[in-house]
Amino acid sequence: MAVSEVRGAEAVVGLLSDRVIKTRVPKSYRVRELDERLRMERTRAEAKIISEARRLGIPTPIVYDIHEFSLEMERIWGEPIKHVISLGLSRSAGVLVGRLHRGGLIHGDLTTSNMIVKDDRIYLIDFGLSYWDMTLESRGVDVHVYYQTLISSHENHKELMAAFADGYRSSFPGAEEVLRRVKEIEYRGRYKVETL
């Protein structure tokens, strides 16, 4: 059983052949009570959001088990869409994000590394920064983050963005307003999540 580890700002993800184990690590700067409360709440919230996203028709890893500070999830063996991006895949990503937003969820880290293609389906992964929110700003920033990753890594980002917007419109009635907000966010030059 090959195990490797990925370390993020908040959690350590152990990669096993059939599953991943995501553990939220303690932070030495927080008082213990608060630290444990946050890690526990967030672990549960993430599991809940993953199943809510599935209910909204978005392929996600299956959650196998919830522990105090960790989640055991299905390992999706596929390619991050950043390696295999096409107009069709970008459009499909738009459809999924539209469903997510329509259901009142924000992913919080919509990079092309957090979208995995397996058997022609896109799986959304890493809901660690996700939350419930229906505001234009949150939705706009969600889309903006995706656009930023396209701009930074793909020559034909304009077409890829248009394809995404097309899919997003098809699954989310409020899309037009959000896409207008995305333009404003770009204009402000403000980005909350930096992606490489």
166 binds other proteins (CB under 8 A): no
Selected binder of other proteins within 2, 29, 173, 187 (CB under 8 A): 29
What is the 3-class SS of the chain, one letter each residue? Answer: CCCEEEECCCEEEEECCCEEEEEECCCCCCCHHHHHHHHHHHHHHHHHHHHHHHHCCCCCCCEEEECCCEEEEECCCCEEHHHHCCHHHHHHHHHHHHHHHHCCEECCCCCCCCEEEECCEEEECCCCCCEECCCHHHHHHHHHHHHHHHHHHCCCHHHHHHHHHHHHHHHCCCHHHHHHHHHHHHHHCCCCCCCC
92 vs 195, which CB is nearer to other proteins? 195
Q: Least distance in Å: CB of 41 to other proteins?
A: 9
Here's the x/- map for other proteins, 7-26, by CB under 8 A: it reads as -xxx----------------
Here's the x/- map for other proteins, 123-162, by CB under 8 A: it reads as ------x-x-x----x--x---------------------
7 vs 173, which CB is nearer to other proteins? 7
33 binds other proteins (CB under 8 A): yes
Q: Is 109 a catalytic residue?
A: yes
